[in-house]
Amino acid sequence: MKKTLILVSLFLCLALLLGTLPLSACGKPAAEKFLKVGMMTPSTGAAAEKGAPGGDGVRDAIEYINNELGGVNGIPIKLLWRDSGYDASKAATIVKEYMAEGALMFTTHASAEMTWVMELANRAEFPGMATYTAPNIYRPPQHIYGQLPDYGDDWSAFADYYLKNIWKGSGKPRMALHLLNNSTGYGARDAAKALADKMGIEIVAIEEHTATSISETDSLNRIKAAKADVLYISSTPKPTALIVKNARELGMFPAMTIGSGHAGLTKALVDLAGADVAEGVYGVFPTVSWGDNVPGMAKIVEYAQKLHPADVGNLDYLSCWSAALTVAEILKTTLETTSYDVLAKGNVESWRAIEKNGIQKLNYDAAGLHGPAKYVEGDNRLAKSVRVLQVKSGQIVPVSNWVDAPVVKYEEYSWFGN
């Protein structure tokens, strides 16, 4: 009997060495390796039209990375996905859970989500990356990063395009701002405060709205009275669609130019407003469009068609898919100089390694889905390129080349953050 047990043990050890049996030398299951990452999206609540396809994109991309690419250096990513419900207290609870569960970093889809949790994360040195961003998130730079250019970058890119390609009048064009009452709107407001005067634009009205607004007729009448030449909206798709509809009803649009920040410029805007109503709306977006001939497009189309066909053509799905690819590249870059054992701890030592050896050494082409994601000291935006688009025949099509948005040190303005 004893001899039989010895032979069985030898057989098990041999099987383990050959990789045919996931057992340790003593017969216990071998420790599974994985890399934990927290990723939240507002898939329910007031921004669900953005968050639901974004959450699909995150999960589908992680499935692709693990199943087809073999994870990161052969180690699967363990996705800790959460739905924030676009709720501040829930978002904070989620980040605390991520830290307690040993996540190496976390991402948010929305700038509002990151605004709600950034103080908590910065204090703990827990590195975060927001897909949709605003200047308040990383000015001055700490431990939070932006995957893409921010809403201030959107405004400056659109304003420059408007001045050079649309404005035909004399003197300064009169611009009104219609802003969601959180970081999505305030990022554009801050850029306008910092840059409008030197660019030669007069801001004649600033209106705010909520994510659940049901009419903006009164605010638009005030903008109409201010004789605005151009209206810039920085919001999510549902309120943006409402404002565009109301502007049509009041006879303001298309005589007045309308531009949108990238939070609102998605397929959902066209679907909610209607193609005829949205026709002619300009906007800014920091990723390629669906169907563009770039290396990463084929897999996005394949997975969306297979798993979430309703998301085909949605830019939130695309940008969150690319967020997952960027996270995988950060992990890969970190592992070039950091042992897995350090990352397996899931503590502040791991977080510092991710930030120093991963994020701050990142130089990633993002499969061509957006501008190169590269950290530059003093600038916590990773990708920096945007382009202007317009709704034409129900499609959102580019009308400008890619431009790099410059760094704006908002913290040097006395009003910033007040």
Q: Distance between CA atoms of 55 and 39, rounded to whole angstroms?
A: 9
| Residues 247 and 325 grouped into a single domain | no
Q: Distance between CA atoms of 386 and 285, rounded to whole angstroms?
A: 6
Residue 71 phi, psi (nearest 5): 75, -145
| Residues 8 and 47 grouped into a single domain | no
Looking up residue 164, the CATH number of its domain turns out to be 3.40.50.2300
Closest of 185, 176, 161, 190 to residue 221, by C-alpha: 176
| Residues 102 and 205 grouped into a single domain | no
Containing structural domain, residue 20: 1-31
Question: Which residues have C-beta within 8 Å of that of residue 191, sequence separation ≥ 6?
Answer: 135, 151, 152, 153, 154, 155, 156, 408
Q: Scan for tokens 């298309």, then name that residue.
A: 254
Residue 100 located in a structural domain:
yes
Number of helices and strands (H, E) in the chain? 14, 15
Closest of 37, 32, 144 to residue 101, by C-alpha: 37
Number of domains the chain contains = 3
Residue 371 located in a structural domain:
yes
The full DSSP string for 110-159 is SHHHHHHHHHHHHHHT--EEESSB-GGGTSS-SSEEESS-BHHHHHHHHH
**β-strands 395-398, 385-392: how paired?**
antiparallel
Tens of pLDDT, residue by residue, the chain (418 residues): 444 444 444 444 444 444 444 444 444 444 689 999 999 999 999 999 999 999 999 999 999 999 999 999 999 999 999 999 999 999 999 999 999 999 999 999 999 999 999 999 999 999 999 999 999 999 999 999 999 999 999 999 999 999 999 999 999 999 999 999 999 999 999 999 999 999 999 999 999 999 999 999 999 999 999 999 999 999 999 999 999 999 999 999 999 999 999 999 999 999 999 999 999 999 999 999 999 999 999 999 999 999 999 999 999 999 999 999 999 999 999 999 999 999 999 999 999 999 999 999 999 999 999 999 999 999 999 999 999 999 999 999 999 999 999 999 999 999 998 8
**Helix 315-335 with 297-307: angle, nearest 10 deg:** 120
Closest of 231, 125, 247 to residue 176, by C-alpha: 231
| Residues 97 and 144 grouped into a single domain | yes
Residue 79 located in a structural domain:
yes
| Residues 44 and 85 grouped into a single domain | yes
| Residues 399 and 259 grouped into a single domain | yes
